[in-house]
Amino acid sequence: MSQRTEPNVPTDVLSELDSYRALEAKQQPKWPDADAVRAAQTELSAQPPLVFAGEVDRLRDRLAAAARGEAFLLQGGDCAETFDGATADKIRDRVKTLLQMAVVLTYGASMPVIKVGRMAGQFAKPRSSDNETRDGVTLPAYRGDLVNGYDFTPESRAADPARLVRGYHVSASTLNLIRAFTQGGFADLRQVHAWNQGFVSNSAYNRYESLAAEIDRALRFMAACGVDDAALTQTEFYVSHEALLLDYERPLARIDSRTGQAYGTSGHMLWVGERTRDIDGAHVEFLSKLRNPIGVKLGPTATTDDALRLLDALDPEREPGRITFITRMGAEKIRDTLPALLAGVRDAGARPLWVTDPMHGNGITTSTGYKTRRFEDVMNELRGFFEAHREAGTFPGGIHVELTGDDVTECLGGSENIDELGLATRYESVCDPRLNHSQSLELAYQVAEELKTAR
């Protein structure tokens, strides 16, 4: 895509992009120095786009297929990426985990799986409180590496606009490595399958061996038929994040010279969180002006009316693939709340993509102070998601999970049975607890079984 620089763009398109400024923007930091914010934004607006309009349009097409029931979305990654965590090893292991999950899900669903990382931009977090108090000391809450530091000191917790530019560069290097891994041979289906066989050969996981053996037979069959093309060695991989920090997103919005339309170039898919999806708020207004596929988180209090108003604001044309509703009800509530929401939206004639986030409605805090989630609650919400869609006759189009490729101990349970004491062994998340590598694969095998029986 050739990108016009802003001075050549018709001013009406540009002023439309700024309409959000008149509205309330929740969850924004209090920058100490307005000049430094302007300087960072000027620098960001001069940087090349991270993603291109053609890729964004292709992802919208892929998501449209999922909304029609012909593909399945796998979206996952850290709750909050960190600048220090953007190392080659950690990025590789997260990509590897997603690729391993995708193979299993592809087999289970007998459908293409659209792979979208919560990666290369997931650096800003909404917080329930502006401040955090420890031992009588109160400091600003950590809002993600794009805003301030995690260390609990006044210097680190001060919002620093230079982080906006650093976040862009860390995203660029992360995305570069993702592109290299997924196009350069690392994603070879046979290799990914071999990793999965290694996983199920561990005695803790041999309940998944029969599914792995079926996949093995399918791959041998394909090989025997002589299938050997780029589809085996390369894969499409997209990136996404919550478009929370408008001082970062706005300078990275660009006008595509082919169409004159605006794209967010910070990531292929952008989503609006549960706390910032107010219909009259700045986030919905800003995202309504971009062509990207947009995700919207919907929690247990979301009504059919909320969903329809969000569709009217963000997708008045009801364009296939434009809107993904990411429901995060909680295992306790999903069977009560989701079926009516699905039916209400269906009856209004809309056909968004429905995806489950089985993480954010299932947070608990242990007596020892760890924020965690039980693997069984996550699985229970997933099953509730499939049940609700069966009930409403709609398509359960994907999963959105917080995960890492590392062997962390942040979520309870799974076949290795991480218990409350075990959480202390390797708890590294700076925000919400993530499924570790094995828990992520287990989840994929269980969802694949669910998808297989649904067909």
Residue 242 Cβ vs ligand PEP, minimum distance, rounded to whole Å: 6
**Residue 404 CB, nearest approach to Co ion (Å):** 12
The CB-nearest residue to ligand PEP is 273
- Of the candidate residues 17, 25, 73, 79, the single one contacting Co ion (CB under 5 A): 79
For residue 244, report the phi and psi dihedrals to the nearest 5 degrees. Answer: -95, -45
Spacing of C-alpha 68 from chain mean position: 20
Give the footprint of Co ion on residues 207-226 (CB under 5 A): none
- What is the spatial distance between Cα 342 and Cα 297, in angstroms, rounded to a whole number? 14
Closer residue to Co ion (CB): 145 or 285: 145
**Residue 76: HSE in the Cβ half-sphere, 13 Å Cα cutoff:** 35
The reply to whether 410 sits near Co ion by the rule CB under 5 A is no
**In the complex, minimum distance from the CB of residue 217 to Co ion, in angstroms, rounded to a whole number:** 38
**DSSP line for 220-231:** HHHHHTT--SHH
Nearest-approach distance from CB 122 to ligand PEP, in angstroms: 8
Q: Which stretch binds Co ion (CB under 5 A): 78-86, 143-151, 171-179, 434-442?
A: 78-86
Residue 131 CB contacts under 8 Å (≥ 6 apart), including other chains: 138, 139, 140, 141
Q: Which is nearer to Co ion, 49 or 76 (CB)?
A: 76
Asked if residues 199 and 100 have their Cβ atoms less than 8 Å apart, the reply is: yes
**Do residues 105 and 444 touch, judged by C-beta distance below 8 A?**
yes
Report the chain's terminal Cα–Cα distance, integer Å: 40
Structure tokens at 333: 């509530």
Q: Which partner in ligand PEP, Co ion, none is near 126 (CB below 5 to 8 A by kind)?
A: ligand PEP
Name which of 106 and 174 has its Cβ closer to ligand PEP.
Answer: 174
Taking the complex as a whole, the smallest distance from the CB of residue 345 to ligand PEP amounts, in Å, to: 18
Tell me the backbone φ, ψ of residue 10, rounded to 5 degrees.
-55, 135
242 vs 450, which CB is nearer to ligand PEP?
Answer: 242
Q: Which is nearer to ligand PEP, 249 or 432 (CB)?
A: 432
Residue 274 interaction partner, one of ligand PEP, Co ion, none, beta carbon < 5-8 Å per kind:
ligand PEP
Distance from chain centroid for Cα 256: 24
Give kind and range of the element (H or E) at residue 254: strand 253-255
Binding partner at 434 among Co ion, ligand PEP, none, C-beta below 5 to 8 Å by kind: none
Q: Which is nearer to ligand PEP, 4 or 275 (CB)?
A: 275
Q: Which does 297 bind (CB under 5 to 8 A by kind): Co ion, ligand PEP, none?
A: ligand PEP
Binding mask 260-299 for Co ion (x = CB under 5 A): ----------------------------------------
170: amino acid identity, one letter: V
Beta strand 253-255 pairing with 262-264: antiparallel
Q: Which does 273 bind (CB under 5 to 8 A by kind): Co ion, ligand PEP, none?
A: ligand PEP
Minimum CB separation from Co ion for residue 102, in Å? 21
Minimum distance of Co ion from residue 80's CB (angstroms): 7
Pick 97 or 394: Cβ nearer Co ion: 97
Q: Count the residues in the chain.
A: 455
Residue 209: DSSP 8-state = H
Main-chain dihedrals φ then ψ at residue 30, nearest 5 degrees: -95, 100
275 vs 335, beta carbon nearer ligand PEP: 275
Footprint of ligand PEP (CB under 6 A) = 79, 126, 242, 273-275, 297, 328, 360, 432
Q: Residues of 187-215 as b/e, b for ≥16 C-beta within 10 angstroms?
A: bebeebbeebeebbeeeebeebeebbeeb
Q: Under the rule (CB under 5 A), what is the footprint of Co ion?
A: 79, 432
